[in-house]
């Protein structure tokens, strides 16, 4: 599933291509979107902005209408010049938005809906989201308190709960906890305030670093180590059995949470027995 940094970069690309343009073409495979288009035609509206909120992408049209999409596991957006051949199968196309300058197509996006822009912050699922880790305005203390309020829930599962914090996904979950020296099965309520704040701060720092200089292919070269070698770009994610880049111990992994998502950690750098102790100093790149 694309994480917050991927959605943020996608929103940036769509905004550059579509913003300020007038919609000349709108098509959709979804009846509920087509019904809105019939009642409140999309063609002729101006695209005011494209932004990200957590893992949700928001396309704002003139007349207080917003198209919300969520990528889920396999959704994606492509942008083409008018008349350019699409590098995607027609059967995967769910939404088409065209202006005089560009055509954006949503592929395999299964979660989409129009929302009245005046009610955006009050309508589910956006109203249920926690603080956005990539938002300009962000209250670290509030975010840390939300983590600790999860009590006996495991922190590795909590970091995936978009109602607590919005934007982090499975890769960042494992990477953030490694950098902070926190075992993924610690109870969130057992964290000290300093530990919770460090987790929030690290998650925000790593996500922001990955949207500062977007790679050629969104998400393809996500980095958390700071190393330039593509083979050394992540600390623990996807590295089960391979040596920890910090201490050399074999990386462990297990399924976690109701969705049984894979979690990776270093048993030595993230011991399960030291909950409540000061954080292990973050590993240094290189």
Just list the catalytic residues.
2-3, 55
- 57 and 10 Cβ atoms separated by less than 8 Å: yes
Distant-in-sequence, close-in-space partners of 214: CB < 8 Å, separation ≥ 6: 9, 12
The span from the CA of 5 to the CA of 133, in Å, is 10
- Host H or E run for residue 61: strand 56-61
**Token pair in block for residue 268:** 């030595």
- What is the distance of C-alpha 124 from the center of its chain? 18
Q: Whole-angstrom Cα distance, residue 171 to residue 77?
A: 21
How far, in Å, CA of 142 to CA of 221, rounded? Answer: 31
Residue 52 DSSP SS3: strand
């Amino acid at each position: 599933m694309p994480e917050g940094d991927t959605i943020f970069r996608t929103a940036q690309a769509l905004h550059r291509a579509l913003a300020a343009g007038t919609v000349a073409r709108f098509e959709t495979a979804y009846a509920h979107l087509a019904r809105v288009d019939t009642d409140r035609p999309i063609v002729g509206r101006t695209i005011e902005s494209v932004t990200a909120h957590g893992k949700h992408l928001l396309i704002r049209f003139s007349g207080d209408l917003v198209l919300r999409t969520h990528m889920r596991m396999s959704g994606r957006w492509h942008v083409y010049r008018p008349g350019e051949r699409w590098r995607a199968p027609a059967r995967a196309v769910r939404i088409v938005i065209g202006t005089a300058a560009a055509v954006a197509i949503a592929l395999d996006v299964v979660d989409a809906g129009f929302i009245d822009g005046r009610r955006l912050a009050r309508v589910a699922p956006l109203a249920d989201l926690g603080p956005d880790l990539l938002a300009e305005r962000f209250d670290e203390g509030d975010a840390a308190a939300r983590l600790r309020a999860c009590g006996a829930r495991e922190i590795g599962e909590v970091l995936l709960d978009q109602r607590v914090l919005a934007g982090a996904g499975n890769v960042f979950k494992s990477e953030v906890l490694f950098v902070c020296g926190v075992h993924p099965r610690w109870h969130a309520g057992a964290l000290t305030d300093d530990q919770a704040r460090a987790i929030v701060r690290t998650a925000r720092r790593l996500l922001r670093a990955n949207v500062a200089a977007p790679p050629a292919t969104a998400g393809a070269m996500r980095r958390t180590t700071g190393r330039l070698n593509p083979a050394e770009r992540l600390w623990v994610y996807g590295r089960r059995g391979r040596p920890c880049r910090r201490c050399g111990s074999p990386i462990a992994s297990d399924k976690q949470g109701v969705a049984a998502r894979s979690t990776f950690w270093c048993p030595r750098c993230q011991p399960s027995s030291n909950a409540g102790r000061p954080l292990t100093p973050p590993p240094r790149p290189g």
